[in-house]
Structures are given as structure tokens and as C-alpha cells.
Amino acid sequence: MRRLQVYDTTLRDGAQSEGIAFSLHDKLLLTKRLDSLGFDYVEGGYPGSNVKDFEYFQRVAELELKHATVTAFGMTRRRATPVHEDAGLKALVDSGAKTITIVGKSSSFQAIEILRTTLEENLAMIAESVAFLREAGREVIFDAEHFFDGYKLQPEYALRAIGAAAEAGASTVVLCDTNGGSMPEEIAEITAAVVGAVPCSVGIHCHNDCDLAVANTLAAVGAGAVQIQGTINGFGERCGNADLVSIIANLAVKKKGYELLLPGAAGHLTELSRYVYEMVNMNFPSHQPFVGKSAFAHKGGMHVSAIARDTKSYEHIAPETVGNERRVLVSELSGRSNIVAMTTKYNIAHDKKLMDRILAKVVSKEHAGYQFEAAEGSFDLLVRECAGTFRPHFERLNYHVNVETRGEGQTTTEATVKLRVNGEVRHEVAEGDGPINALDAAIRKALNGSFPALARMHLVDYKVRVINSEAATAAGVRVVIESRDETDVWGTVGVSENVIEASWIALVDSYEYKLCKDEKQELNGIAHQ
């Protein structure tokens, strides 16, 4: 078994992605999370660039990390600057980090045209910087920027650049596909040539501009690289970095002969991926390999029928291996096998007529614009209605929403609802930030006296999609609402030409699902007593 080092640069290189910023608290929390899974290196940032990164290295030293080595990132000394006078290198030493990663040019083109220095001076910048940090008692990792492009242009010089770092004491030279334009076969061939040419470990750092960063990283590992650099979810500037989530899943689960992270760490990849998305306030991409919500989702009836017989028929691994789960979707493409799979918890598979009613209802609803893939709550209520077991907890009598603008853009929104609850008519008014928020508040006022559990239910997402855009402003819309309580998250859907009515339908389904769910849990609790 070959041991691989996993080097995470989410907090530095990943933070260069558009729309992403980590607070100091975020950086410390993610460091602890990565350490708990056995990451070998966590790159915390450049301590000389800003106050937050400087404070991070002061604070992270107080953490009791068990596996991860925190690294500081910086550059080789500046051109024509004595190494002992370089402020950047001094900041790296002052950070207190035990390991320091410095980036330097390994391409003759970059050295001459971008740094505006000589080839020999560039080599001196690399060697003197590494030696200075080694003399300060630090492990040094050298990131060879633009290495693959430089090697293809002038291989002798690219090898001299990383050789200068290795001879000066670098523990690892990392080959960087900085522009993300190399092909896997090039990465493999060049990495193999380097592994036999330098007296230290070789790492790989790929960017994703050709959508090949993961493939290129795997090719480099196959050719002998032992350190893998990348970011969680592939965050990074332009098209991003190599996604460590996919890389770890492939090496820990799919490929044999490698050891990385702690035993069982792969089973937490889905949790880790979504944790980082939540941290930067981004939605989870449903189609992300291994960890996306749709990674193990099955919609076609033939597929679901085969999955019921043997999951390997349409799944390359068991979803639990990476902490994900299998999902069976219902749609107009579905067959009875989907309905059987989706309704297993109701124990009604033996009732063919009921199953056919459910399928017919789904097809009819989808023809009208409904979709149930993200609306498990509405589907649950549909099944109950078809089975004759659903009893509404309240009845809508009428509602009214008023939006009024006063003065200089001051807008107020007010909703009035009239409901019948347990035979009693309740008439409530509430204001909100918009029509849906006001409607939600008015419904809650009418229901909370009878159903206090609704106070623990919160709307967490709201999406509107135009169904038939050719109808312009008269188009029908589909509203999907995601709600949660202390234990579950569920989606509901409503469709109408009126966005407020579509929202009402989805809101009511959300309340009804919550109440039905709580009643079932209460009955189960009584049954187990």
C-alpha cells in the first residue's frame, strides 16, 4: 500500500474563488474539521498579506490538532533583494508555522517575461529562499508554478528549477498545472520523468480550466506523485482547483493500493462537502460526483426496477461509502417500480390498484407543471390522498394579500387569511417583508394556537420557476419551498398562473406534511411504550 499525503488549500487558494470569503472563525473551524478526518496538511494562508491571515496563525497554534500540519504560504524572495531582508520570508517565519510552502517560477518564459529577471537569478531566488527557511528550522514545500507549461517549453530549465529547491532542502516539490491546460497523458509522462530526477518527494497541484483537474491529479499519482494538493469542492479562481472530494473518493474507494487520511474518512465526504458549501453560503450542486444530491438518484422506471434487483446495475459504488444516500424520483418517466420504491415505508406495494392510482396522479400533476423530485413532502401527501388516509388539519376559506407603496419607495405588505380549524373560523392579519412572508406569518397566527409544533418549523429556501415562458407575464409558475424542523428537511411544490396562489399551495403542503409527520411519530412513540 502506497501512502499519499493530502494537502488542502481551500482556505488560501479556494478563497480566490468568486463570491467566497472565509472569516477567521470559519478558517479555524474548517481546520479542525479537516484535522478530524486525517488531512496531512492544511494551508492557512499568507501571513504577510492581511491581518486576518496573520491572526489565523496565532490562533491556530492554540488548537490541539492531532493529524494536520498547518502550513503558511508565500513566495520566494523578491528579485534583487537579499534573502535576509525580504519582508515576505520574514512574515512566513514569524507566523510560527512548522511547514512553509513557497511558490516560485519553474518556467523560463515566466522568469524572463513576468518576473523580468534572468534565468540564473530565478534559480538563486528559489535556492536561497528554501535554504533560508530550512535554516529557520521549517519544513519547506516548493510549489513549482507553471511547471508543466515550462517543461513543455524548456524541460532542462524546469528540471533545474525544482532541482534547486530540492538541493536546498525542500521536502517536496509540487508540480503545478497553473493554467489548467495540460492533458492527462502529458501529466503522467512528465510526472514520471520528474520522479526519477529529483531527490525528494513529488506532489501535484492542478487547476480545472479544461475540466481535467481530477483526472490530471490521478494521472500524476499513477506516475509516482505522493502529495495531492487541491480544495474541497474544487473552489478556486477561474474554473477552480482539483476537487479533493472526488480525488479522495476515487483513491480511497475506486482505486486500490493507496492509503490516505484516516480509516473511514471517505464515509464523511458528503458531510464535509456540504459543510463547506454551508460555510460559504452556497447551494449544493445536485450533480456533483459522489456527494451531490443527484449522484445516486434514479428516475427512469427501467433503472429503478434494475436497482431493486441489484444496486450495482446502475451504481458504480454504494452511496453510503462516501456518506451519500440513494434517492428514487417520481415523474412522468416513472414506472410502477419507482412508485413501489418511493412508497416502501407505507407498506402498500401489494395493492396494485392503489399503486396505479398514485402513478396516474403523478403523471397528471406533472402534465400540469408539477415536479416531485425536490418535493418529497407534497408526494407524501399525494400518496395519503390516493390511499384515502389524509385528513386536512385546516380548511382555507379565503385569503387576501395587499402590497402598498407610500412616499419615497416605502412598501408595506399585509396578508389576511380566514381558515377553519377544528370547526372554528379564524381570521388573522400579518405584515411581512413581501407577499409570501406576510402570508406565511398570517397562516402561522391562525394555526399556532392549535398546533404549537409549527413554531419549530422554518422556511429555509424558496424557488420560483416559469413553466411556459412563451406565455410571458401570463405564464404558469412552479414554486418549490424547502422547510425544516429540528429533525428533518422536506420540500413541497405548488403550481398556478398566480405566483401567490402557487406559493399558498406549497406553504399549505409544508404545514400539512409537518403535522402529519409529527402525528405519525407520536403514534409510533405510543406503540413502542
The model's pLDDT over 338-388, given as tens digits with 9 standing for 90+, comes to: 566 566 666 676 778 888 888 888 878 877 888 876 788 998 999 899 988
Residue with cell 407610500: 406
| CB 398, CB 423: distance < 8 Å | no
Instruction: Give pLDDT, residue 328.
Output: 65
Residue range 208-212: mean pLDDT, rounded: 98
Q: Which of 132-146, 317-331, 362-376, 497-511 has the highest mean pLDDT?
A: 132-146
**CA separation for the pair 122, 101 (Å, rounded):** 17
Mean pLDDT of the chain: 89
Helix, strand and coil in the chain, % to nearest 5: 45, 20, 35
pLDDT band at 333 (very low <50, low <70, confident <90, very high): very low
Mean pLDDT of the 132-139 span? 98
Mean pLDDT of 170-196: 97
**Average pLDDT of the residues in 26-52:** 94
- Which residue pairs from 156-162 have beta carbons closer than 8 angstroms and sit at least 24 positions apart in sequence? 157/106, 157/107, 157/108, 157/119, 158/106, 158/107, 158/108, 159/194, 159/197, 159/198, 160/123, 161/104, 161/105, 161/106, 161/122, 161/123, 161/126, 162/106, 162/194, 162/198
Lowest mean pLDDT among 319-328, 382-391, 437-446: 319-328
Q: How far apart are CA 171 and CA 200, in angstroms?
A: 6
Over residues 487-512, the pLDDT tens digits come to 888 989 999 989 999 999 999 999 99
Hey, which residues does 139 pair with through a beta bridge? 99
**Taking Cα atoms as reference points, which of 362, 375, 440, 368 lies closest to residue 401?**
440
For the chain, what percent of residues have pLDDT higher than 70? Answer: 90
What pLDDT is recorded for position 392? 93
What was the pLDDT predicted at 393?
94
Q: Please report the pLDDT score of residue 525 as a whole number.
A: 60
- Name the pLDDT band for 138 (thresholds 50, 70, 90): very high
Q: Check whether 430 has a pLDDT greater than 80.
A: yes
Report residue 332's pLDDT band, with 50, 70 and 90 as the boundaries: very low
Amino acid 305: pLDDT: 59
- Is pLDDT at 51 greater than 80 in this prediction? yes
Q: What is the full DSSP assignment across 148-185?
A: HHHHHH-HHHHHHHHHHHHHTT-SEEEEEETTS---HH
Contacts of 51 (CB under 8 A, 6+ apart): none
End-to-end CA distance of the chain: 51
pLDDT at 446 over 90: yes
Taking 50 as the threshold, does the pLDDT of residue 155 lie above it? yes
pLDDT digits over 245-287, tens only?
999 999 999 988 999 999 999 999 999 998 898 888 787 888 9
Q: pLDDT band at 204, cuts 50/70/90?
A: very high
Average pLDDT over residues 49-70: 93
312 or 24, higher pLDDT = 24
Specify the pLDDT at position 288: 95
Please tell me the predicted confidence (pLDDT) of residue 20.
93
349 phi and psi angles, rounded to 5 deg: -60, -25
The cell numbers describing 63, all together, are 488548537
pLDDT of residue 330: 59
Q: Among candidates 480, 446, 478, 450, which has minimal Cα distance to 465?
A: 478
Contacts of 288 by beta carbon, 8 Å cutoff, 6+ apart: 233, 245, 273, 295
- pLDDT at 411 (0 to 100): 86
Q: Is the pLDDT of residue 475 over 80?
A: no
Residue 112 CA to chain centroid, in angstroms?
39
Would you call 468 helix, strand, or coil by DSSP? coil
How high is the pLDDT of residue 341? 58
Q: Is the pLDDT of residue 166 over 70?
A: yes
The partner residues of 461 in beta bridges, in order of sequence, read 482
